Amino acid sequence: MNVLVVHCHPSPTSLVAQARDHILQRLGAGGHQVRQIDLYDEGFDPVLSAWERRHHLDSPEGKPSIAAHAALLAWCEALVVVYPTWWSGQPAMLKGWFDRVWVNGVAYTLPEGSDRIRPALRNIRRILTITAHGSSKWRNALQGEGGKRIMSRSIRAVCSPWCRTRWIAFYGADHADTAHRERFLRRVDRAVARLR
């Protein structure tokens, strides 16, 4: 498969970065075609400007700052998103990527006179989300797991109607010992090995 891995963490030595490295290694060994976006490494600007907001329904051809990312979304069949969960959701950098890149003409189309969008990323058949939470599963469930809803509902809604999502979360990461972290990385390896 053509797999796009999107990584979002400011520390190259984080557990999330280790998970990304496991993912890239496993995908390479599995014979997949892999491309990566590292939002922090490339210095992606997550701020939706006033101009972009006014022109968010315009064609993406007039938005050269997102062209490379839009092309990767059109290329991939599977999307793997790796990030820490902060304040019950995606980091601002990743949320800004959704706001700026998943726009009309890239992720969906809004026909003239219509009030209903049409999915445009029908090429994406699999979404795998890998995240680490500092707090417990119970606390995240109480908070409603906003990040999980965004990935499994909002993002999935503009992909193939047969798109399958998978959520791999590590809860309590702030206090986990080495054995628990290694067990999480083995879960990541198994999830990536099943990606087809």
Q: Which of 78, 89, 39 is nearest to 165 (CA)?
A: 78
Percentage of the chain lying above the pLDDT 70 cut? 94
- List pLDDT tens digits, range 91-148: 999 999 999 999 999 999 988 888 888 999 999 999 999 999 755 565 656 565 768 8
More confident residue, 191 or 110: 191
Q: By residue range, what is the domain housing residue 79?
A: 2-193
- For the chain, the domain total comes to 1
Answer yes or no: is pLDDT of 17 > 80. Answer: yes
- CATH no. for residue 81? 3.40.50.360
β-strands 118-119, 108-109: how paired?
A: antiparallel
Q: Angle at the Cα of 120 (from 115 to 124), degrees rounded to 5? A: 140
Q: Which helix (H) or strand (E) holds 137?
A: helix 137-143
Report d(CA 104, CA 110) in Å as an integer: 7
